[in-house]
Structure 1
Amino acid sequence: MKKILMLILSIILGVNVTGCNINISSKNVKIISASGLPAVTMCKLAKEEDKIEKGYKTTYTFGSDEETEKVLYNEEYDIALVPTDMAAKVYNKNSNYEICASIGQGSYYLVTTDSSITGFNNTLVNKDVAILEKNSMIDTTVKSILKENNVNESLVNYRYVNSAPELVTALASGTVRTGVVPETYLTTLLYKHSGLKILTSTNDAYDKTFNTQGGYPQFSVIVKKDFVKNNKKFVDKFLSKIKESIDFVNTNPLQAGAYGEEFKISVKPQVLSKAIKRCNLKFKEVDEFKKNYEEFFAILYDYNNEVVGGKVPDDSIYYK
């Protein structure tokens, strides 16, 4: 009879009852990262952290950018590490994810073998420049920088490619002499073509052009608002763990890269070790970086509003 009563109590309360001890089942937290550097910042957590807070169980997923954006539109995950333009698009789609922190600022670099090119200025006019995906966040950022620098950017011959490996191939083969390349692919490219010169990072050029400090937020942590309401302590602890994880990646890139290989993240440990100083992985809580977000969203919107999902996100996108 006692066993039957215990079973009934377990069903009603949703807990496991053993004698006088009650063990509450853990709440499952679903976390996803888009590809590239956001995934690198999360690999230590996925490898080493079984639990962040008592009563919670975390599960980690690494997806492509396309897969990640789709599941966030459907609100399938509690927390995500994503490119910042995706954060804006998802918010404008369902209004149910808010930005908690920037986990990486601009990590693209202007490189060339053309000695006549000196930066994001008029020396790029009538020159071929390889860049990722037309109307992408980096495409719009570069064009905004050029426009602000009084360059008729329509006279730049953009050579669009669909992936970073394709970008590396185009530059390494000499098919095109100038490009805007993300780390860690830049380090791979420099192995293949040591004659390329790094002129500037998009982050530094952005700061100089728009008179900002700290650059633009390339990657962000977003959290589902419905989840935050009842789990703020967990969210705050998760953010502190992500900060620790980023610090670990910056100081132990070989080990971080080894963790990444286990999760099939396409960043080799030796490459990450060489690239880490240019990856610009820094944790900044949204409170301290809010102005940078607001400026960045406005700049992207002014050039191509579709990059941020059709409108500048309002103030409720920011975690409080």
Structure 2
Amino acid sequence: MEVGQTARCARAFGRRAFLALSAMTLGCILALSGCSQQVVSEGEPSSDATAQDETQQIQQTEVRIGALKGPTGMGLAGMMGDAPSGVSDSCAYSFELAGSADELTPMLIQGDLDMCMVPANLAAVLYQKTEGAVQVLAVNTLGVLDIVCVDDSVQSIQDLAGKTIVSAGKGSTPEYALRYLLENNGIDPDTDVTIEWKSEHAECLAALEADSSVVAMLPQPFATSALSKVEGARIAIDLNDVWDQTAQAVGSDAQLITGVVVARTQFVQDNPDAVAAFMDDYANSITFVNDNVDEASQIIGDQGIIDAAVAQKAIPYCNIVFVSGEEMKSSLSGYLQTLYEAAPESVGGAMPGEDFYYLS
């Protein structure tokens, strides 16, 4: 073969070899690329999938809670601020505090609140007025009513005859509990005593301070607060004890129940997981408050519920509890039945139905 032909053959072979090698290389690259994509889809999620999962994880149900500045609000302390008792990641809680239930119940009915802490009998009234649009989730406060006075002559409930009694809470637990106790202890609440109803407990303290002959019916922690604010004031009668004695005398085992937590029925139906999470969080919060008085008192003060120093002294006497399920139904229905027999209007004119009690 001549030199020129040999050179042309070599160049032709070089081009064919280069093209073949390039084709093989491209095939390997495509194969590796396909394998790489398969690993992403079968192994770690793509960036889009990860972002979607993270969005789902941080979605929370908003739970708007109304509470009174007293024992019911105090029981929420473990869920407020930095939530020392811990709260569920599935709920985002917000709180509306008020001095009286009248400020909160319209917000609940109108859908501006999802849950609310209210006097026990008021829960039954709301149930009747809204035709079942509210449910009771739990009992949160037992008896907290005391008779506070400077007058040394008051030693028992019978000694209230002829006295002027100031109190807040007309149309709710304080009024009906007082009437029940007076009537069953031989005192006519309409003729044997003078009852002056105030809009807030602070007004009762002012009346007691202005006139030493006045007798005040106050719930905790306001009864404890009165001892430091009114010279010579003392807790003369624990009405929770009187209730138990009176109930026993008339053959009843009904407890005095001050407060409950209610929720809009529609909210409960639409958000069962959030309600279940709240029940756990609230139970833990109440345990925290009762077991960690000093820390809880500071949170209560910081949140504007009541003064921290007063809370520290009062928590042991506030009967803050968490009673749910069948036990709640049994105790609450017994209490409401007692009120109904004494004054049907106190529970809205009729006993609530089975759907009033949240048992899930």
Check if 1:184 corresponds to 2:221. yes
Q: 2:80 aligns with which of 24, 28, 46?
A: 46
3-state SS of 2:258 partner: strand
Task: Count the aligned residue pairs.
Answer: 302
Check the 8 A contact 1:106/1:201 in 2, yes or no. no
Q: 1:249 aligns with which of 289, 293, 296?
A: 289
3-state SS of 1:58 partner: strand
% identical aligned pairs:
23
Q: 1:161 aligns with which of 183, 189, 198?
A: 198
| Cα offset, 1:40, TM superposition | 1.5
Check if 1:19 corresponds to 2:43. no
Any idea what the Cα deviations from partners look like across 1:156-183, whole Å, max 9, x if unmatched? 1223322211111221233433221121
3-state SS of 2:62 partner: strand
| Cα offset, 1:210, TM superposition | 1.2
Query: Which stretches in structure 1 are left out of the alignment for 5+ residues?
Result: 1-16
Distance verdict in 2 for CA 1:262–1:197, change over 3 Å? closer
Distance verdict in 2 for CA 1:20–1:144, change over 3 Å? same
Indicate the residue corresponding to 1:142 in structure 2. 178
Check the 8 A contact 1:92/1:309 in 2, yes or no. yes
Report the TM-score when normalising by structure 1: 0.84
Amino acid at match of 1:187: T
Q: 1:198 aligns with which of 221, 235, 242?
A: 235
For the pair shown, the structure with the greater C-alpha radius of gyration is 2
3-state SS of 1:20 partner: helix
Any idea what the Cα deviations from partners look like across 1:235-262, whole Å, max 9, x if unmatched? 2332222122112222333322322333
Amino acid at match of 1:243: A
Indicate the residue corresponding to 1:29 in structure 2. 63
Check the 8 A contact 2:254/2:338 in 1, yes or no. no
Indicate the residue corresponding to 1:219 in structure 2. 259
Query: How far apart are the structure 1 equivalents of 2:205 and 2:257?
Result: 24
Amino acid at match of 1:47: G
Amino acid at match of 2:255: G
Indicate the residue corresponding to 1:128 in structure 2. 164
Distance verdict in 2 for CA 1:27–1:197, change over 3 Å? closer
Check if 1:235 corresponds to 2:302. no
Any idea what the Cα deviations from partners look like across 1:286-319, whole Å, max 9, x if unmatched? 4213232122222333344333233322221111
Distance verdict in 2 for CA 1:55–1:290, change over 3 Å? closer
Distance verdict in 2 for CA 1:152–1:178, change over 3 Å? same
Query: Which stretches in structure 2 are left out of the alignment for 5+ residues?
Result: 1-45
Q: 1:108 aligns with which of 124, 145, 161?
A: 145
| Cα offset, 1:205, TM superposition | 1.4
Amino acid at match of 1:34: L
Query: How far apart are the structure 1 equivalents of 2:337 and 2:76?
Result: 29
Greater Cα offset, 176-185 or 275-284: 176-185
Query: How far apart are the structure 2 equivalents of 1:172 and 1:278?
Result: 23
Amino acid at match of 1:204: D
Indicate the residue corresponding to 1:118 in structure 2. 155
Which residues of 2 match residues 296-311 of structure 1 at below 5 A? 296-311=335-350
Indicate the residue corresponding to 1:78 in structure 2. 114
Amino acid at match of 1:146: L
| Cα offset, 1:213, TM superposition | 5.4
Greater Cα offset, 298-307 or 278-287: 298-307
Query: How far apart are the structure 1 equivalents of 2:288 and 2:72?
Result: 14
Any idea what the Cα deviations from partners look like across 1:124-145, whole Å, max 9, x if unmatched? 2222222225444202211111
Indicate the residue corresponding to 2:43 in structure 1. none
Indicate the residue corresponding to 1:276 in structure 2. 315
